[in-house]
Structures are given as structure tokens and as C-alpha cells.
Amino acid sequence: MTAPLPVADRAETLRTVRTLLRPRRRLAVSGFAVLTAATAVGLLTPPLLGHVVDLVAQRRPAEALTRPAVLLVAVALVQAAGTALGLGLVARLGETMLADLRERFLDRVLRLSLRRVEQAGAGDLTSRVGNDVTVIAEAVRSALPELARSLLAIVLTLVALAVLDWRFLLAALLAAPVQWHTARWYARRSSTLYSAHRTAVATQQQQLLETIGGAPTVRALRQSDAQVDRVVARSTAAVDLYLRAIRLLTRFYGRLNLAEFIALSAVLAGGYLLVGAGAVTIGGTAAAALYVHHLFGPMNSALRLVDDAQVAAASLARLAGVVQAEPPPAPHPAQPADGAVKAADLHFAYRPGHPVLAGVTIDLTDGETVAVVGASGAGKTTLAQLVAGVHRPGSGSVTIGGVDLADLTDADRRRTVALVTQEVHVFAGTLADDLRLARPDADDDALYAALADVEALDWALALPQGLQTVVGDGGHRLAVTEAQQLALARLILADPKVVILDEATADAGSAGARVLERAAARALRGRTALVVAHRLTQAAGADRIVVLDAGRVVETGTHDELRSRPDGRYATLWRAWSRSR
């Protein structure tokens, strides 16, 4: 069963923002100070235009308009320059905070146990590191600077209205109750809706990944229609939530238009009465009307950005939930005496009532290589993951060198046990950097030695820049066999006591498989090894073989012992394997 990664509550999310903002306070103050000055200068435009109206109403000569015209141009230039500088500073603030958040998120994810990441599912993790980061990035690059400028414009415009005449301010504030009620109404509904939509998108992605990744199995079991129905159901749920959000947004804008009509009508009606009473000039009323008209640009932008803020806040809470999550308490420090492995009475089920392993017990002496074979679905990979610590058994225990696997810290477990699967990742970067992920302090001689052990040195030296050749995404693409050799070389550099190979040669062709089997044999020398064997030739070279069937150990012994049992499970598998070759 999947267990999504945590989502932060509002207090935790604010704590994350404060943590990110604290080292950047000077930049934040500078950015908002420049924006405030630029906005204040821009608010000189309506009174200057009002002055022009008064000059025209007084029938002053044309040359009287020169000075206000020059001032209008100067105001525009100063406002443009200040706004550009201020928005640049605010954008820099947002981008550096976002970069820090990304690093903290990835750092915490990499510190999570493999078991926790597996429980969350690939869809949850990829949606957070992909979609959620994208949503926050878009908000930082556009919404944050715009919101900052809009809020400043609103406050300073209201001050300017009060300076013109306090009654203009009161008229403009008639729209405030409608706007306040609209914002609260929208916030109450949109917060839950957007959070549910983000979760639905994550669930949809998880279903798509499972469907695509398991397509061959789905077709083989003739479950295509059922699987497509699941994808459609997850996609429909996400689309329905999105359409609900669009309908909510449409009603939101309708209410904002009503507020704008109320305020502008009140200012024009009040200005008509005040001009008639001689309290203000026509130019003053024109300036007030311009202020109110301009006020609703930033006002509507700020309220509109509530929409973006709700989406970004939902995404930020999903990232902050991982960043703020406390790491599990460190187990008592313990060091295995050797590489002996004992798995006792293991029971495990991914879903309650559907056991995958039932009472599995295996012992590996220090330095022994044991192969695990069995039909597809027998539980081989699950057993390997339990011994590697990816999952914890429902009952039973796994000990290494006399120490329970659960009592090892994550760092000690990674140093003690290494898992190599058929899904090998080649990291983007130089070949040397890729190898040093296993041992950062390894010199070139150690890298050459590891590559030579797995018969990879020749092709590595033949690369355009040797060990400095960029591999992975955007670089030189390694063949399947080469990628597996790279993984085995990293294994040698990491030098764990216990190694688990989960069908690590399964994807290679026949010639590649022979190379990898020799490379694996060298990599396993002097280590305790549990090998999930896809090719029975690899099992034949093991010290001992364990045969699994339906989650239980049905046979154990050497290759010759098991092959000599005519009706045995291993003998049957060997005959079928030999005929297929």
C-alpha cells in the first residue's frame, strides 16, 4: 500500500518561508524599498493630469502645459526605471529562495529511507519535484513581483485619495466590503480545492507510471481494459477538480467587477456634488477618478493573484512537508561483526491478505554467495529488498553480522549492504564523477582498478575524453552492458560487506551476459552475496541455491545436488533453461 509523503500545515509552511527569507532580509528590504519609491513616483501622474484639466478649464495659454507635460515624462521615466530595478530585486529574492528550497527538498528526500520512498510511490515524488516546483517557480517569477507591486500601489493610492479629499477615500472604500467578502469566500473554497487537485494529479501520475512500467505484464495477463479504466478514473478525477476550480474562478471575477462599479460610481457622484459645492476642482475630481480607476488594476491583480497564491501555497505545503519532516530517530549505533546474513521467518505483504513471502528463512555465512531462483512472482525481488532494507518485514527479522538490520543507521546500512538491480542509472556528468559517487575520495588509480575488475577499462579509455567524458543525459550514451559494468565498478569502490544482485544481468544480450557474469563474480569476491538469478548459469556458479515458489523456500542446496533430484523444482527449471538455450 502506498503512503504519500507528508504535507505541511500552514504553520509549518510559514516556518519554511521564514527560514528561507532570514538570510535574505537585506535583499528583501532593498527590493521593496525601491518598488515603494517607484510606485510613489508613479502616483504623481493623476494629480499632474488633474492640474492639466484645471489649466484647460481656466483657459490658460498652451505654454502653461509645458511644465506639467515635462513632469509627466520625468515621472514615467523614473517610475519605469525604479519598477524595473525593484522587480529585478524581488525576482532575485524569489529565485534564490526557490533554489534553496529545491536543495533542501532534494537533500531531505535523499536522506529518506528507500523504504519510505518506495511507500510514497514514484508518482508522489515526481509530482512534487516536477509539477509542484514548476508551479512555485512560475509564482516566484511572475506572481510574487506583481503581488508586491500591486499591494504597494493599493496602499499608496488610498493615501493619495485621502490627500486629495478624505471623502474621495470614503467613496472608494465602499468597494472594500465586497472585495473582502469575495476574497474570504474564494480563499475558503479554493484552498481545499487546489490541495485536492494537486493530490489528484499526483495519484494520476502514479497510476500512469505503474501502467506504463507494467505494460508487458498487463498485456500478458489480459488486464489492459481494467488498467485503462483505472487511468481514466484517476484522470477524470483530476479534470473534474480542475473544472470546479475554473467555475469558482469565474464567479470570483464576477464579484470583483461589481466592486469596481460601486467604487467608481461613488467617486464620480461624490465628485459631482463636491465640485458643485466648490469643495474641490474639476481637476481634483478627475485625479480622484483616475486614482480609483488605476486602483482597481492592482486591486484586481492582487485578488486575482490569490488564485496563483492558493495553487503555489498548496504546492509549497507539499514541498515543506518533506523539508520540515523530522528524520526518523537514529537507531542505536551498532557495527556488524562480519557479512553473515540471517533472515529468519520472514513474512511480507504489499497488501493485507495477499502475502508475498510466508515464513522464509535463509542463512548466508560470511563470504558465501547464495543464488535465489524461482518462477516470476515467487517473491525473489521482495526477499532481496527485505535483506537490503528497502522494506521491513511484516514479521521476522534480518540480521547482518549479528546486528538487526533495523538497528543500523541509514548511513551504516548503506555502507554495509549494497543493492544492484537491472534498472541501473547513469548519472549526468563525467564518468569519473559517476564512479566517485560510490567513493568520493577515490583517486584515478582506484577508478582504473575498479573498471579493470569488471572488464570495462578498455571501453572507458576508448571514450573521447577517457574518464572525463560526459555520460548520461546530454552526454555519451552507454550501452546496457556498459551501464551494468559501471554499476558493478561503483560496487567495488563502495566495498560493502553484503551485496545483493537483483537480476543485474537480465537486460544484457547473450554475449553481454557472459561479460557481466564474469564482472559480477569479480565484484562479489570476498563479500557475502545474495544473487537473484535470471540466468541459471549464474546460479550454477553460486556456493548454494535457494529455490522459492509462491513465497516459500521449497529447495536449497548446491547446483549439482539440486540438479540430481529428477522431480525437484530446480531440476525442472534447469531442464527448461537448457532446452531454451
Task: Assign domain 10-324 to its CATH architecture.
Answer: Up-down Bundle (1.20)
Tell me the CB-side half-sphere exposure of residue 106, using CA atoms within 13 A. Answer: 8
- Cα distances from 308 to residues 13, 14, 200, 305, in angstroms, run 16, 17, 18, 5
Whole-angstrom distance, CA of residue 105 vs CA of residue 132: 12
Quick one: how far is CA 268 from the chain centroid? 51
**Bridge pairing between strands 470-471 and 341-351:** unpaired
Residue for grid cell 485621502: 162
Euclidean distance between the first and the last CA atom of the chain, given in angstroms as a whole number: 39
The overall average pLDDT reported for the chain is 81
Treating both helix axes as pointing N-terminal to C-terminal, what angle do 144-164 and 45-57 enclose, rounded to 10 degrees?
Answer: 40
Q: What is the secondary structure of 169-197 as a DSSP string?
A: HHHHGGGHHHHHHHHHHHHHHHHHHHHHH
Strand partners for 556: 546
pLDDT above 80: residue 69: yes
Quick one: how far is CA 326 from the chain centroid? 18
Cβ partners under 8 Å of residue 212, min gap 6: none
Tell me the CB-side half-sphere exposure of residue 326, using CA atoms within 13 A. Answer: 3
Return the H-helix or E-strand segment holding 449.
helix 444-453
Burial 212-234 (b: 16+ CB within 10 A, else e): eeeeeebeeeeeeeebeeeeeeb
Instruction: List, in sequence order, every beta strand (DSSP E) within 29-157.
Output: none
Three cell numbers at 423? 534498472
Q: Average pLDDT, stretch 273-283?
A: 80
Three cell numbers at 562? 539440486
CATH number, span 341-580: 3.40.50.300
Measure the CA dihedral 187/193/198/202, to 10°. Answer: 160
**Bridge pairing between strands 417-421 and 403-404:** unpaired
pLDDT above 60: residue 329: no
Most confident of 131-140, 198-207, 358-367: 358-367
Whole-angstrom distance, CA of residue 131 vs CA of residue 136: 9
pLDDT above 60: residue 360: yes
Classified as helix, coil or strand, 7 is coil
Q: Average pLDDT, stretch 89-110?
A: 81
Picking from 162-171, 406-415, 536-545, 547-556, which range would have the lowest pLDDT averaged per residue? 406-415
Torsion angles phi and psi, residue 51, rounded to 5: -65, -40
Cβ–Cβ under 8 Å, residues 366 and 340: yes
pTM of the model: 0.57
Q: Tell me which of 159 and 368 has the higher pLDDT.
A: 368
pLDDT at residue 581, rounded to an integer:
63
DSSP 373: E
Quick one: how far is CA 121 from the chain centroid? 12
pLDDT at residue 91, rounded to an integer:
81
Q: Residues of CATH 3.40.50.300 domain(s) within the chain?
A: 341-580
Quick one: how far is CA 14 from the chain centroid? 19
Cβ partners under 8 Å of residue 360, min gap 6: 343, 345, 346, 347, 379, 383, 396, 548, 551, 552, 553
User: Model confidence at 77, in pLDDT bands (50, 70, 90)?
Assistant: very high
Q: Average pLDDT, stretch 542-555?
A: 88
Whole-angstrom distance, CA of residue 431 vs CA of residue 516: 19
**Bridge pairing between strands 341-351 and 544-549:** unpaired
Whole-angstrom distance, CA of residue 234 vs CA of residue 202: 10
Return the H-helix or E-strand segment holding 162.
helix 144-164
Classified as helix, coil or strand, 456 is coil
Angle at 163 between CA 168 and CA 65, to 5 degrees: 95
Q: Residues of CATH 1.20.1560.10 domain(s) within the chain?
A: 10-324
- Cα distances from 462 to residues 265, 404, 449, 459, in angstroms, run 79, 45, 16, 5
Whole-angstrom distance, CA of residue 49 vs CA of residue 555: 94
User: Model confidence at 248, in pLDDT bands (50, 70, 90)?
Assistant: confident
Most confident of 26-40, 105-119, 133-147, 511-525: 26-40
pLDDT at residue 330, rounded to an integer:
55
